[in-house]
Every structure is written in structure tokens, then in C-alpha cells.
Structure 1
């Protein structure tokens, strides 16, 4: 089921957590920040919206690094109900797509809940003070990758954040598969 997150709550403070990465190490969210900010991206392995743009996510994360913006991806889906999103499959997915950033497993779903993540992909772009400045889409792609010349919304917004500390006022929400929450006990 498709979900659309709310638009940016400017100034909302980033939340730190330490989670296991597919590289076998523990990573803190704040430890991934660059000197000009960070993007925290909630993704997963099975979502057709993520699969359609994963090469663009990897490209833009690399390009943002040159702007001093760090990047971290987090999977929070219920792997019991969605085995394709298991930690082992996260390792395979990251390797297959040549991730140049940490891919972390939020098994307890506490980080996704703290951020109010709604879908995959869901992007949270913070400035160097770790205040939210962007919560929008990667680009206009949906379940299929759009044309190669699509406006790079996330990259352009985070370049602006890196240079000015402030995100664009006009943002278009991301769309994707809903986070697959575990059933309450």
C-alpha cells in the first residue's frame, strides 16, 4: 500500500540512535553527519518504489558527500512478515547496489517511530545543526524510474541546505510503500 509522508516540519531536531550496519559494525546516526548536514533515508529491499530508484539514491548520496552532507539508510520493516527485508538480504542488497554509505537495521522499529517515518523511501534532510530542512522526494520517479533528466529534488535541496543552512520552502512529498510495522503484542 502506498503512503505519503507529511511535508517538512522545519527545525525539528534529528534523533540519534546506534544500530547495526550491514558491514558488521555499529553506527550512530549522528556519526554519519557531514560538516554541512545529513540525510537519514528510510528504505527497504523489497519496495518497488525503492527498487526503481536505488541507483539514483546511491548516486545522489555520493554527490551530496562532495557538498559535505552525510547519508545513512535505515531499514525498519518487519522482516518476519517480509523476509526479503531481512538483515542478511539487506547485506546482499547493499552489495548488489554498491552502497557507499551505512545501511542500518532498525529491528525494533524504534528509530522509524521516533522519526515518524511513513514510507520507503522517506528522506529526512538535516542541516549542520541537525535541524530538519527537507522532507521530500528524491525526484519525480514512482514505481518506475523516471527519465534520466528528472530534476534531482533531494540533491538540489540538500545542496541548498549545505550552502545556506535552510531548505527550500516548496517541497513535494515522497511516495512509497508504507513502513511494514510489527503487530503490537
Structure 2
């Protein structure tokens, strides 16, 4: 019995050592994390979140080439990203699906997806899910809006119906951006982000 308990303890310790390092969940008002980490965009350009931020802030969205929720939100993503950029808010979509990197989430596949979607904003590879871990992001698409001072103003979904655009009642991210631009406090600064799970390497 003691030997079995010993081996079970060793296995538990070994397993825990392979779990991704999670940071404290970001709360509204938190500073933009990992702002100076070098990231590779699908254009081949190296960027940082700090460098991508516009005069009025930064929108970071955790995305994917293959997630069904991402696909259901493609039109909404286009609209919200265009709205952000028109108002001097930088946009970065982050692909943290490391466990799928050898296939449909490869850098080449990201380039192809970005081209099909006519991305006019950054779409970057998150090596070892460094950003996902720092943001405590777990779903696709999951959105983080930062103000001009790099403080988190909103985190959550694009709206209240990620699975079906026909039943949207509250455009959460749109509202947050508009309030931010108006110099107001964001009324709903945290919301759920139903979607695919980010596939980290164990």
C-alpha cells in the first residue's frame, strides 16, 4: 500500500510539471501583459503588443483557423476589427492552438486563413501559448480590450450569442469600444466567452 501511494504521488508530481503555467486571471484595470514579447505575424513581420497598440487602445482576440465558433463569428470579427481600427484601436488576433500547430493551425495554414478572410490586422503565432497563459485565455474567440493607457477595459465574448448571430441581443464588445471611445467607464467589463477550448501542449 505504501509503495502504491508513493508511485501515485510521483505520478501526480510528474503530471503537474507538464501543466501549462497560468498567470493570475486579468481583471479590469490590469496592465497589458507580455507587451514586449516578439510575435510573428502572417506577413512575416515581427511585432509586439505594445507596438500594435493604437492611440486609443488595443484589441486582442484569441482566434483559430479551425474553431467552429471562430467560423460562426467571421462576419462579426470583420466588423468589430474594422470598427476598432477606424477608431485608432490596434487589433491583434492570436493563435495559441499549440497542440494543433503541426497541421491545421500551422503558420502556413494561418497565412492561408488570413488571406481568405482578408485580414487587414495582425494575426500572430503564440509560441508555447505564452500570451494565452499570461492572459489566462481559454476560449476561441475570447476578446481583451485595452484602453490608451494599456489598462484592461473589457474581457469576454464579442456578444451574448457566439453560436448564433441571429439571436444576438447585446453587442458586448461593440458597446465596450464605444464607451471607451467616449471616455466613459465600460458598463459591462467582464462577460463569458463561450467557444472552442485553446489547445495547449501538455
Q: Do 1:22 and 1:103's aligned partners in 2 also have CA atoms closer than 8 Å?
A: yes
Indicate the residue corresponding to 2:139 in structure 1: 119
Q: Do 1:134 and 1:168's aligned partners in 2 also have CA atoms closer than 8 Å?
A: no
Alignment partner of 1:92 out of 109, 112, 126: 112
Q: Do 2:29 and 2:153's aligned partners in 1 also have CA atoms closer than 8 Å?
A: yes
Q: Note the C-alpha offset of 1:53.
A: 0.5
Where relative contact order (Cα < 8 A, 6+ residues apart) is larger, the structure is 1
Structure 2 gaps of 5+ residues are: 1-24
Secondary structure in 1 aligned to 2:30? coil
TM-score by length of 1: 0.87
Relative to structure 1, the CA distance from residue 150 to residue 101 in structure 2 (aligned partners, 3 Å threshold; closer, same or farther) is farther
Note if 1:108 corresponds to 2:131.
Answer: no
- Give the structure with the higher percent helix: 2
Indicate the residue corresponding to 2:38 in structure 1: 18
CA RMSD of aligned residues (A): 2.2
Secondary structure in 2 aligned to 1:109? helix
Secondary structure in 1 aligned to 2:156? coil
Q: Note the C-alpha offset of 1:155.
A: 1.8
Indicate the residue corresponding to 2:51 in structure 1: 31
Q: Note the C-alpha offset of 1:150.
A: 5.0
Q: Note the C-alpha offset of 1:141.
A: 3.0
Q: Do 1:18 and 1:27's aligned partners in 2 also have CA atoms closer than 8 Å?
A: yes
TM-score by length of 2: 0.80
Aligned length: 177
Structure 1 gaps of 5+ residues are: 1-6
Secondary structure in 2 aligned to 1:147? helix
1:22-171 equivalences under 5 Å are 22-80=42-100, 83-143=103-163, 145-147=164-166, 151-164=170-183, 166-169=185-188, 171=190
Q: Distance in 1 between matches of 2:58 and 2:52?
A: 7
Q: Distance in 2 between matches of 1:98 and 1:151?
A: 26
